[in-house]
A = this chain, B = another copy of it.
Amino acid sequence: MIYIVEDDREIREMIGYALKNSGFEVAGLADGNQLDAAVEVQVPEMILLDIMLPEEDGLAVLRRLREDERTKDVPIMMVTAKTTELDKVKGLDMGADDYLTKPFGIMELVSRVKALLRRSAPRDDEEIIVYAGIMLDVRRHLVSADGRQLELTYKEYELLKYLLKNSGIVLSREKIMDKVWGYDFEGESRTVDMHIKTLRQKLGQNGAHIKTIRNVGYKLGD
């Protein structure tokens, strides 16, 4: 999902149309307030941000986005009529990833969006992840341990995938909850433990690779 923050409805729709045509999901937003509301609902993959906004200045919005834990790593492209070199330098140095000045070619914009997404995309498009005897094929949605195929439920699969992608790294229960379950969880819950248990069981011998780090979390491998 890409958010386009731009007060001029025509430009917004034009950009939106071009990006949709290239296969992106987009949402047009007229100002910083609408952006805030949208971020509450969903953190986007990318934000196109105009500088000349009616209420709050685009640079101010940029600063807020970079300070917010949720959006501090979201790629941001400034799209604006402000065209002096100093403007660009300011925007880039404040944490924008690209700076495109109006009028711009729509093809260039799309190419730049792609380039930025390419660079920012988490490198997790690996097809097959292997650790020791454990093998997980993302595309085929298959998991095997020592060659023997396993029947994993959805959560078990997602949990194992997350562990595999972060093998060697300690993952706290909160982080696991956040990434695999998709929501912050406060307080106690044995949910993660439970799934770790069934995973260990189903993995048989390889289950021993999932280690408990007391008071911290779990870790796969090393």
| Contact of A119 with B by CB under 8 A | yes
- Chain A 83-106, CB-CB to B under 8 Å as 1, else 0, gives 001101100110111110000010
The answer to whether A139 and B170 have CB atoms under 8 Å apart is: yes
Whole-angstrom distance between the Cβ of A205 and the nearest chain B Cβ: 21
Chain B residues within an 8 Å CB radius of A93: 111, 114-115
- Chain A 184-210, CB-CB to B under 8 Å as 1, else 0, gives 000000000000000000000000000
Flag the segment in A5-13, A30-38, A50-58, A213-221 that touches B. Answer: A213-221
The answer to whether A75 and B169 have CB atoms under 8 Å apart is: no
Chain B residues within an 8 Å CB radius of A96: 115
Bound complex: CA A96 to CA B114 (Å) = 10
Copies in the complex: 2
With A119-B119, A169-B139, A169-B140 as given contacts, are A216 and B112 in contact (CB-CB < 8 Å)? no
With A168-B140, A170-B140, A216-B141 as given contacts, are A105 and B119 in contact (CB-CB < 8 Å)? no
Nearest CB to that of A142 among chain B residues?
B222
A→B interface (CB under 8 Å): 73, 75, 85-86, 88-89, 92-93, 95-99, 105, 107-108, 110-112, 114-116, 118-120, 123, 139-142, 153-154, 168-170, 213-216, 219, 222
